[in-house]
Amino acid sequence: MRATTPAEDFVRGIWKENPVLVQLLGLCPALAVTNTVANSIAMGLATFFVLVGSSLLVSTFKKVIPHEVRISAYILIIATFVTIADLVLAAVVPLIHKELGAFIALIVVNCMILGRQEAFASKRPIGRALLDAVGTGVGFMIAMLMMGTFREVLGNGSILGVPLFGDNFEPWVIFILPPGGFLTLGFILLAFGWWQERKSDTARIRQWPHGVATPSREEAA
């Protein structure tokens, strides 16, 4: 396993290994509550808080938690942070809390968060775990915002509730309904995959002169 630099730990989750767009983790909230930009932001922030908080605690107590019960301990820590987020949202922004409903409680079973604890926070120093959690949380928020903007603009003709088009715009209602979540995610993954493939093609063409068969990564190695 290659050692990583702190900067790599931070940037990795934002783009190259974006939890939603590349690892396809945390899809439940990404599909369910991205029907408006405001909901996406609130969900992104709540998940960010839970992820950073639990990574910090898991990394701090990694020596104390016995190996046999580590998953239960992680879930306990995550669930505590989720309950706190739930109560704080209900007290501070009751309207958004009402919109998000049961999906806040479901952050507990977001595999993106548990995955970062088991794969990273439980094995690294606190600083690295924090960087990784912040990076992954920002990456998650970017993905949520992409979906939320796409869906609200097409499905409701507005951003953050502010109408963008005139009265003649007929909202594409399917995009704020559940099927719209799947369609949007599909379109975004398509664009993402196309962009990545094109990038790797360009890299290969630069390395090899024209007319030379490009070897695959395994052959080149």
Partner 1 sequence: MKELPQVSPDVLETADAGAAREAGGGGPTAPPERPATSSARLVATLAAAGALAGLVIVLVFGWANPKIQAHRAEVLRQAIQEVLNGPESVRTYYVVDGALSESPVPGADTINAERIHLGLDDAGEPVGYAITGQEPGFQDMILVIFGYDAETDRVLAMKVLESKETPGLGDKIFKDTSFVAEFRGAAAPLEGVKSGAGSGVENEVDMITGATISSRTVIEIINNRIEALGPMLDESGS
Which one of residues 41, 45, 56, 84 is an interface residue with partner 1 (CB under 8 A)? Answer: 84
Q: Shortest Cβ distance from residue 123 to partner 1 (Å)?
A: 8
Among 22, 51, 113, 143, binds partner 1 (CB under 8 A): 22
- Give me the DSSP letters along 55-121: HHHHHHTTTTS-GGGHHHHHHHHHHHHHHHHHHHHHHH-HHHHHHHGGGTGGGGG-HHHHHHIIIII
Beta bridge partners of 159: 162
Tell me whether residue 20 is exposed, middle or buried, using C-beta atoms within 10 angstroms of its C-beta: 0 to 12, 13 to 18, 19 or more: buried
Q: Does 32 bind partner 1 (CB under 8 A)?
A: no
User: If binding is defined by CB under 8 A, does position 94 make contact with partner 1?
Assistant: yes
Please check whether residue 170 is in contact with residue 45, taking contact to mean a CB–CB distance below 8 angstroms: no
In the complex, minimum distance from the CB of residue 161 to partner 1, in angstroms, rounded to a whole number:
13
Min. distance of Cβ 20 from partner 1 in angstroms? 13
Query: Applying CB under 8 A, which part among 26-34, 142-150, 161-169, 171-179 lies near partner 1?
Result: 171-179
- The nearest distance, CB 17 to partner 1, in angstroms, is 6
Alpha carbon distance, N-terminus to C-terminus of the chain:
17
Pick from 177, 191, 205, 220 the residue near partner 1 by CB under 8 A. 177
Q: What single letter denotes the amino acid at residue 113?
A: I
Task: Using alpha carbons only, give the angle 172, 178, 179 rounded to the nearest 5 degrees.
Answer: 70
Which residues of this protein are in contact with partner 1, per CB under 8 A?
Answer: 1-2, 4, 12, 16-17, 22-23, 35, 64-69, 72-73, 76-77, 79-80, 83-84, 87-88, 90-92, 94, 98, 101, 115, 118-120, 155, 171, 173, 176-177, 196-197, 200, 216-217
